[in-house]
Structure 1
Amino acid sequence: MRKLLLMLLTVIPLFTSCNKDDDDSFRNKQYTFTEVNNSGISGVVMIREVGAVNAESAITIFLEGSNESDSYFTNVYTNSVSEEGEIIIPLEQFDSEGYSNTYVNGLYQNEEWDPENPISYDELITFDGHILIRLNGIDGPVVATANIGSNAN
């Protein structure tokens, strides 16, 4: 099932047509997770534009190699994977299939959640950040990482 979802995530954009007069087309950018400590966990993260008004965004993650009996947690952090950063966007917990989808409707600023300050798609794909996948809790071991925005190669 996970492979089917991953394939659909990759293939669907190829079959959607864009008309130069079509104002309803939304952009997306995809990044790859790197396995950490032979965890067997990898996957993709897609940052999608989901709203036309303020170029709102969503972060969708598909994990490969996840175990249904384990819990995986994830957040967007400032800085690159090689640097430590602060949580800036909390992401939804994964379901049993290794899928997480979060509509980004605010940011942590000064250690407080600020829903009045959402980050746009354009800001998110150029953001100095990274995503960590952790096993069994927010303080659990890191099993996969992905640089996003300005840190991605």
Structure 2
Amino acid sequence: MYTLSSVSNSKITGKVTFKKNEDGSTTVLLEINGSSKDVHPAFIYFNNAETGGEIAITLEPIDCDCESSSTIVTTLDDGTPISYEQLLKFDGHLKIHQNEDHLEIVITQGNIGTNAN
């Protein structure tokens, strides 16, 4: 489990949980608190949050006021396989954005894998 911190005074926090599935895939569960009713796109990026990087994995967006989403991950967006163990050691961070029209606005983020403290 990794903590997601508020960005841009959004007052939205949350957590991301990685769960190993029997078939070797990973379920990525996003849970946030205090969001609007927007559909919030979510991505795992390369590098740490401070450095920034390109999108590595597109996650299911957080829809409606449910404040959660679940994605089964087996590969990076470029098709490179990634296991649960590799994801736990991944050099990355996660960002959740305001909505599709405002991807430049990040509402919550956190470092994952080797970048988590």
Answering whether residue 7 of structure 2 is matched by residue 32 of structure 1, we say no
- Please tell me the residue identity of whatever aligns with 1:103: I
Partner deviation per Cα, 1:72-106 (whole Å, 9 max, x = no partner): 11100000000121111100011221111100022
Question: Which residue number corresponds to residue 126 of structure 1?
Answer: 89
Name the SS for the 1:107 alignment partner.
coil
**Greater helix share, structure number:** 1
Where relative contact order (Cα < 8 A, 6+ residues apart) is larger, the structure is 2
Alignment of 1:34-73 (within 5 A): 34-51=5-22, 53=23, 55-68=24-37, 70-73=38-41
Partner deviation per Cα, 1:108-133 (whole Å, 9 max, x = no partner): 3xxxx31xx32111000110000011
Q: Is the 8 A contact 2:74 2:83 kept in 1?
A: no
Name the SS for the 2:86 alignment partner.
helix
Cα distance in 1, alignment partners of residues 63 and 41 from structure 2: 10
Name the SS for the 2:15 alignment partner.
strand
Give the TM-score, by structure 1 length: 0.71
Aligned-residue Cα RMSD (Å) equals: 1.3
Q: Is the 8 A contact 2:98 2:107 kept in 1?
A: yes
Question: Which residue number corresponds to residue 113 of structure 2?
Answer: 149
- Please tell me the residue identity of whatever aligns with 1:76: I
Look at both structures and tell me which one has the larger radius of gyration over its CA atoms. Answer: 1
Partner deviation per Cα, 1:17-65 (whole Å, 9 max, x = no partner): xxxxxxxxxxxxx0010001210111110011012x4x22111101100
Gap regions ≥5 residues in structure 1: 1-29
- Please tell me the residue identity of whatever aligns with 1:104: V
Name the SS for the 2:61 alignment partner.
coil
Give the TM-score, by structure 2 length: 0.91
Q: Aligned residue pairs: how many?
A: 115
The match for 2:104 among 140, 147, 150 is: 140
Name the SS for the 2:70 alignment partner.
strand
Cα distance in 2, alignment partners of residues 71 and 95 from structure 1: 4
